[in-house]
Amino acid sequence: MRTGALADATLGSGRSRKPNLDLWICWWLLPAFYTAFAVIFVPLTRVMPPPPPGLSVAQITAFFHAHRETIQIGFGLLMVALGFGCIGNGLVAYQMTRMSISPVFAYGYIATLAVGALPGCLFAGLAFLAAAFRPDRDPHLVALLYDVGLLTFVGSLGCFATNYLVFAAAIFMDKNKIFPRWMAYVSVWQIVTEVLAMPVFVFRKGPFAWDGAISFYEGTVIFGVFLSCLILLVRKAIQAQPPDQPLHA
Amino acid sequence: MMTLNAQSVSLWIALFFGAILLVAFILFPGFFPPMSPNMTAQQVAAFYADHTARIRASMVIFNFCGVMLVPFFMVIVYQMKRMATPTQVLAYCYLSAAATGATLFAIADLFWLVAAFRPERDPQLIMLLNDLAWITFTAPVGMIVAGNLCLALAIYLDDQPKPVMPRWVGHFSILVALAIAPSAWAGVVRSGPLAWNGAISFWVRISAYGAFIAVMFFVLRAAIIREGSDDDPSWGRSAG
């Protein structure tokens, strides 16, 4: 509990009596968004698990031909859905402003993901939509869009690594115990997965390719663990938060 | 009276650059009427060859002025933080959405400018750049939709005798979000109202967004003036 903020009791007067309704609405959007994310990227657009980097130009055209409709439905939905990911980011950053440390890391959390959303997620959608837009496009250009889409999606490393770094550092230094200390170690593991994905720009097959056991599967499993923990821990943090807690960060 | 402070300056910056953006919008030869997604590669290349100077002029203005609207959205963030909502989470969500949304403003024009840089390039490549420009410009509407819904929710939860913004602004914000949302399909279809040159994805989206900025200019102006004349000790004022 943050005694400094509670001492400032006058600020709380007149505040809403609906206890943390805004937090709960934002929280529900977290599992909703990542469910939509999973549906879009796994069954619909086939980006997860990714098709191999070693396909020939003809095979890449065949891939877009075979999955054209679902790619279009999936990434058409992503164009709207991604905005709701921003809400989840704002919620986590808000919880970080409740920590005993300065809000520097909370602001860093928002800024890194605001940068990462485009190269790390939206670009895959734009490239695949452009590839599916004209089935008669020059096959070499379709192959270019395939590489742009998958390399930006799997290979956008720094935006997210920085995000995990500020998140882990914030948890380590926070004395209010907004998130348990072990979550910081999970976040550190996320940084390791980003490091292990660095070779995707070199290898076209094997464990370090963009569809490889290490670059993709290991990273995705740890991301799944990280995300599940994050969603549950944010829920616990909201439950533990006294209503009408005035804050200004 | 609205005195000169960071907020009012942000509004005037938006008004000034918004007016210039309107000129750039009218200047771009591909907007009146909006280019059809069904043009052939040769037609697209010919369009860039015929209108090179005006495409460059309008898009370099768009490039320079588009992100100048960001301080305006930060005034919305700050005014959301003044609201008597249970917490300030929605202001952070809006900030997050506005920042990501602005990156798209910064990128769409680059594709148009690269295409116009060498109009003699292989028409297939010009068409690819043109496709990417139009899809990036039209389809990724989620950030505006989510931001507007956050703003509306914050207005509805602003539980105080003198709310920061009137409730109708919340309804209006949702209406704009609903009008803009269908444009997400512009990266999928090549004809009809949802195509990038269609009535909904082009005219409705741009009109709704323009109306949002125009209306919010006056709403924010009123909120800033009220904040300045407010005798209550409001914690946010010193930061205004």
pLDDT in single tens digits along all 240 residues of chain B: 556 699 999 999 999 999 999 999 999 999 999 999 999 999 999 999 999 999 999 999 999 999 999 999 999 999 999 999 999 999 999 999 999 999 998 999 999 999 999 999 999 999 999 999 999 999 999 999 999 999 999 999 999 999 999 999 999 999 999 999 999 999 999 999 999 999 999 999 999 999 999 999 999 999 999 998 864 444 444 444
Query: Facing residues of B31 across strands?
Result: B34
B9-48 pLDDT, tens digit per residue, is 999 999 999 999 999 999 999 999 999 999 999 999 999 9
Instruction: State the DSSP code for A137.
Output: S
Token code pair at residue A202:
């070199």
A219-240 and A68-97 helices, crossing angle to 10°: 40
The per-residue pLDDT of chain B, averaged, comes to 94
Omega within 30 of 0 (cis) for the link into B166: no
**Whole-angstrom distance, CA of residue B188 vs CA of residue B126:** 19
**Whole-angstrom distance, CA of residue A68 vs CA of residue B74:** 39
**Whole-angstrom distance, CA of residue B160 vs CA of residue B172:** 20
Report the pLDDT value the prediction gives residue A243, as an integer from 0 to 100.
72
A179-196 pLDDT, tens digit per residue, is 999 999 999 999 999 999
Token code pair at residue B2:
């609205």
| B154 contacts: CB under 8 Å, gap ≥ 6 | A22, B80, B83, B85, B90, B91, B94
CB contact under 8 A, A78 and B143: no
CB contact under 8 A, B187 and A75: yes
Residues shown for chain A: 249
- The residue among B96, B141, B200, B230 with the most chain A CBs within 10 A of its CB, best to mutate, is B96
**In angstroms, how far is CA A113 from the centroid of its own chain?**
8
Question: Which residue of A75, A94, A126 is in closest CB contact with B92?
Answer: A94
**In angstroms, how far is CA A24 from the centroid of its own chain?**
19
B168 vs A125, B18, B153, B216, B219, CA distance in Å? 35, 24, 12, 12, 11
The pTM of the full predicted model, rounded to 2 decimals, is: 0.92
**Whole-angstrom distance, CA of residue A42 vs CA of residue A226:** 18
Residue of B nearest to A21 (CA): B86
**Whole-angstrom distance, CA of residue B74 vs CA of residue B97:** 11
| B210 contacts: CB under 8 Å, gap ≥ 6 | none
**Whole-angstrom distance, CA of residue B178 vs CA of residue B137:** 18
Contact assessment for residue A201 and residue A151, using Cβ atoms and an 8 Å cutoff = yes
Residue of B nearest to A139 (CA): B124
Residue B90 burial by Cβ neighbours in a 10 Å radius (0-12, 13-18, 19+): buried
B47 touches A at CB < 8 Å: no
**Whole-angstrom distance, CA of residue A33 vs CA of residue A231:** 11
- What values do phi and psi take at B106, rounded to 5? -75, -20
Query: Facing residues of B34 across strands?
Result: B31
| Helix, strand, coil abundance in chain B, percent, nearest 5 | 75, 0, 25
The per-residue pLDDT of chain A, averaged, comes to 91
Report the pLDDT value the prediction gives residue B228, as an integer from 0 to 100.
86
Pick the closest to residue B103 from B71, B66, B62 (CA basis).
B66
CB contact under 8 A, A133 and B141: no
**Whole-angstrom distance, CA of residue B192 vs CA of residue A94:** 42
Q: Please list every residue in chain A whose beta carbon sits closer than 8 Å to the beta carbon of residue B143.
A: 82-83, 86
Report the pLDDT value the prediction gives residue A10, as an integer from 0 to 100.
38
- Counted across chains A and B, CB pairs separated by less than 8 A come out at 180
CB contact under 8 A, B86 and A16: yes
B162-180 pLDDT, tens digit per residue, is 999 999 999 999 999 999 9
**In angstroms, how far is CA A156 from the centroid of its own chain?**
11
**Whole-angstrom distance, CA of residue A249 vs CA of residue A108:** 13
In this prediction the ipTM stands at 0.92
